[in-house]
Amino acid sequence: MRAAIIGSGNIGTDLMLKCLLSNKLECVAMAGIDPGSDGLARARRRGLAVTADGVEGLVGLEEFAGVDVVFDATSAAAHHRNYAVLQPYGKRVIDLTPAAIGPYVVPPVNLDEHLDAQNLNMVTCGGQATIPIVAAVASATRVRYAEIVASIASKSAGPGTRANIDEFTETTARAIEKIGGAERGKAIIVLNPAEPPLIMRDTVYCLVEECDERAVTDAVETMVARVQEYVPGYRLKQEVQFSAIGEDEPVWTLVPGAKGGVKVSVFLEVEGAAHYLPAYAGNLDIMTSAALRTAERLAR
């Protein structure tokens, strides 16, 4: 499949370098809005057709006619406009913003359900890291409430990420419920300014009324292995933890009608492949890796 990328920032540039390594995709074009961006310069040196006129410039390129899939690595607000421009051309679109026009897609959880969708949404970096874990727990027991905390290095959060904080929390929370299988979800993002920058860390809390600890642990470990197939730096920081919580504990106010149970805690680290940015930017790497995985599945 021939691919084009909209967005020449951190995510778009990292995605371009990953596409160039793929044996199932041919990246032929990149569109941005900053003529002096490093992404467009790198794309030009790699032989891609480039334009600094955004999505309008992309559809005007000669190479666009042969493009099968377009990746949008801009922002949630920009994606609404970009998709409106692209729709008449019938191109498949993989959305790396939290715009959520199309169905939420987390490759190891529900990709095969949406292979016919015209617009596939990659949720958020925190969603790609944590929703597989919520889904794993939900496969073994009923998840009444799930809360995720994504902590990323401040240096890895570019203008697009910072502009989409509200969309990040809202889209991730909805996807925790819709894909992860939790009855109620909540998402928190932390931009950590520590120096040297810290590798992405994610914490997943699931409140369940009862569970088979071995079954939950096996499901989580199996899911981690599935994510590692396309994000090798994705790993558990410690064993899955289980804490009994009495029915009078304040936390159960989040789950009306619950009579106590267990808090399942999973602690993750995501180290990036450093194709473009340093390894601490696992939040970017897991997004671009998930998008690439999705496009390669479409190609197959």
Least confidently predicted of 126-135, 214-223, 247-256? 247-256
Going from N- to C-terminal start, the domains of the chain cover 2-97, 125-278
Q: Is the pLDDT of residue 262 over 90?
A: yes
- The response to whether 179 counts as a known ligand-binding position is no
For residue 21, the model assigns a pLDDT of: 97
The residues annotated with a catalytic role in the active site are 125
CB atoms within 10 A of CB 103: 16
- The response to whether 99 counts as a known ligand-binding position is no
250 upstream amide cis, omega within 30 of 0? no
For 155-183, what is the mean pLDDT?
90
Indicate the CATH number of 125-278 among 3.30.360.10, 2.170.190.11, 3.40.50.970, 2.40.110.10: 3.30.360.10
User: Nearest Cα to 154, choosing from 125, 195, 188?
Assistant: 195
SS (H, E, C) the chain: CEEEEECCCHHHHHHHHHHHHCCCCEEEEEECCCCCCHHHHHHHHCCCEEECCHHHHHHCCHHHHHCCEEEECCCHHHHHHHHHHHHHHCCEEEECCCCCCCCECCHHHHHHHHCCCCEEECCCHHHHHHHHHHHHHHHHCCEEEEEEEEEEEHHHCCHHHHHCHHHHHHHHHHHHHHCCCCCCEEEEEEEECCCCCCCEEEEEEEEECCCCHHHHHHHHHHHHHHHHCCCCCEEECCCCEEEEECCCCHHHHHCCCCCCEEEEEEEEEECCCCCCCCCCCHHHHHHHHHHHHHHHHHHC
For residue 44, the model assigns a pLDDT of: 98
For residue 161, the model assigns a pLDDT of: 79
For residue 159, the model assigns a pLDDT of: 77
For 220-237, what is the mean pLDDT?
98
Statement: the pTM of the whole predicted model exceeds 0.75: yes
CB atoms within 10 A of CB 190: 12
Write out pLDDT tens, residues 60-70. Answer: 999 999 999 99
For residue 250, the model assigns a pLDDT of: 80
- The response to whether 11 counts as a known ligand-binding position is yes
- The response to whether 138 counts as a known ligand-binding position is no
Q: What percent of the chain has pLDDT over 70?
A: 100
For residue 41, the model assigns a pLDDT of: 98
Cα within 13 Å of Cα(48), Cβ side: 31
When the pLDDT of each residue in the chain is averaged and rounded to a whole number, the result is 95
For 6, residues 6+ apart whose C-beta sits below 8 A from its C-beta are: 12, 30, 31, 32, 54, 55, 58, 70, 71, 72, 73, 74, 82
For residue 249, the model assigns a pLDDT of: 80
Least confidently predicted of 100-109, 153-162, 166-175? 153-162
Q: What angle do CA 233, 240, 146 make, to 5 degrees?
A: 90
Q: Is the pLDDT of residue 258 over 90?
A: no
Q: Is the pLDDT of residue 78 over 90?
A: yes
For residue 26, the model assigns a pLDDT of: 98
For residue 167, the model assigns a pLDDT of: 87
Q: Is the pLDDT of residue 252 over 90?
A: no
For 107-117, what is the mean pLDDT?
97
- The response to whether 157 counts as a known ligand-binding position is yes
- The response to whether 260 counts as a known ligand-binding position is no
For residue 231, the model assigns a pLDDT of: 98
Distance CA 217, CA 225 (A): 12
- Could you tell me which CATH class the domain 2-97 is placed in? alpha beta
For residue 255, the model assigns a pLDDT of: 80
Q: Is the pLDDT of residue 260 over 80?
A: no
For 141-169, what is the mean pLDDT?
90
Cβ proximity of 34 and 7 under 8 Å: no
